Structure 1
């Protein structure tokens, strides 16, 4: 497995957020994390990217325990891309500058190589004409695609996506989801926290339902979303259906 989470536990004060959680993601696999707000999806992604320290358990990437205190977080993060629901683009920098900043300053690439790679990615996602634009001149969907490209130029082994469509107007969601589908076709390994059940059904190889900090049920999308075993999963999906989101 590319990623393995074993008995991961995380508390914030008296609040138990991750409760001995176990999850594995194979190379080139796309796993969708679903569950109610507060179930632990975003915290899990932050723990995998070492932005949040776990209290117990292990997280391994390529069979290396990245939660070992001796692990170098900066080296680990070079292998993992994380994109948040808020775009977090630097407003005073152009699209091209936003994308090339980390490759040049953190990874030591030459500015010319970083620009070439960024330009290639922008062309692939239909944003080549926005290279010199500032973020406030872009739509929400365009900004989110730039944020994803910013993670991809570092050539991560694993891409983490945290509700990347939740801040978008409904008509802009499709362009981001199309980009993620294309990344799946390219073989990118992804762990995606999402409320887009239809998207999870279409793009995920596996769906994991989180409840109270545990993976309560996981399996192929058709099974988990269409014929769930656990009563709590059925209850969650019933509410999603009532809201018209499945």
Structure 2
């Protein structure tokens, strides 16, 4: 079966520094893959390349078997199918939550105002924000803003959802509500590629964990295998530093 996402020997260089080094990765339909690794390991860069916010220097990225790194591809159409939620919420501060969520359906997809509102309210109810639809982002908590950002991405019904350290900008007490929403999306069968520093979350929600180091996938497998019994010394050292729970 053709994977939803297939990265083949993807290479990305910034200023002479190789950030992604001939990276290979696949994500199957309804699969949740968690990317773990130290800062600078290439997690965020990979997500930005998949969303075509960065151009790869070599290799290919395919969505449902179609090469989206072809320079003739319409990047905006790809982004309609590949949603990316950032660390910072990136909501428009001058728009209400409802207007933030309906903006793309109305302006990009040319959906009527009433239908866009209906879809948006369904999603806001799903993420627990229906009663805040008419609020402006600065009136919401960080956790609520991140849930609104996720709703804004989901309203386009993306084929693949990319999440880039979506809890890193939150106060610790707000992390749980966002993670609970992502668990719900996973249970609903949403195909996701998630960069995270939350090891407990990766263990609880991911079907597969990939450890990135030096721009390559060093080790991957079920969460229990990678997080509890890593085979590669680099994975062992990383987990020992991050969690202190793996000592070899």
Q: TM-score range by the shorter chain?
A: over 0.9
* Shift in Å, 1:124: 1.2
In structure 2, what is the equivalent of residue 17 of structure 1? 19
Matches within 5 A, 1:161-180: 161-180=163-182
Q: Provide Cα deviations, 1:204-243, integer angstroms capped at 9, x if missing partner.
A: 0000000000000000000000000100000000011149
Q: Shift of residue 85 of structure 1?
A: 0.5
- Over aligned residue pairs, what C-alpha RMSD do you find? 1.1
How far does the alpha carbon of each residue in 1:7-59 deviate from its partner, in whole angstroms, 9 at most, with x for none? 00000011100000000000000000000000000000000000000000000
How far 1:126 moved relative to its partner? 1.2
Q: Does 1:105 align with 2:119?
A: no
1:128-162, Cα deviation, whole Å (9 max, x unpaired) = 11000000000000000000000000000000000
1:40-55 → structure 2 map (5 Å cutoff): 40-55=42-57
Match of 2:85 in 1: 83
Q: What is the TM-score when the length of structure 1 is the normalising length?
A: 0.98
Task: Return 5+ residue gaps in structure 2 as ranges.
Answer: none
Distance 1:226 1:110 in 2: 50
Residue aligned with 1:150, SS: helix
What is the aligned partner in structure 1 of residue 238 from structure 2? 236
Match of 2:223 among 221, 224, 246: 221
**Shift in Å, 1:70:** 1.1
| DSSP-derived class of the 1:78 partner | helix
- CA–CA distance in structure 1, aligned partners of residues 94 and 111 of structure 2: 22
- In structure 2, the residue matched to 1:2 is 4
Aligned mates of 1:34, 1:163 — CA distance in 2: 10
Q: Report the Cα offset of residue 107 of structure 1.
A: 1.2
Q: Confirm whether residue 140 of structure 1 aligns to residue 142 of structure 2.
A: yes
Q: Which residue of 2 aligns with 1:210?
A: 212
Q: Distance in 1 between matches of 2:228 and 2:236?
A: 9
Segments of 5+ residues of structure 1 without an aligned counterpart are none
Q: Which aligned runs of 4 or more in structure 1 are off by greater than 2 angstroms?
A: none
Please name the residue that 1:32 is paired with. Answer: 34
In the alignment, the residues of structure 2 paired with residue 126 and residue 24 of structure 1 have an alpha-carbon distance, to the nearest angstrom, of 32
CA distance in 1, matches of 2:94, 2:76: 25
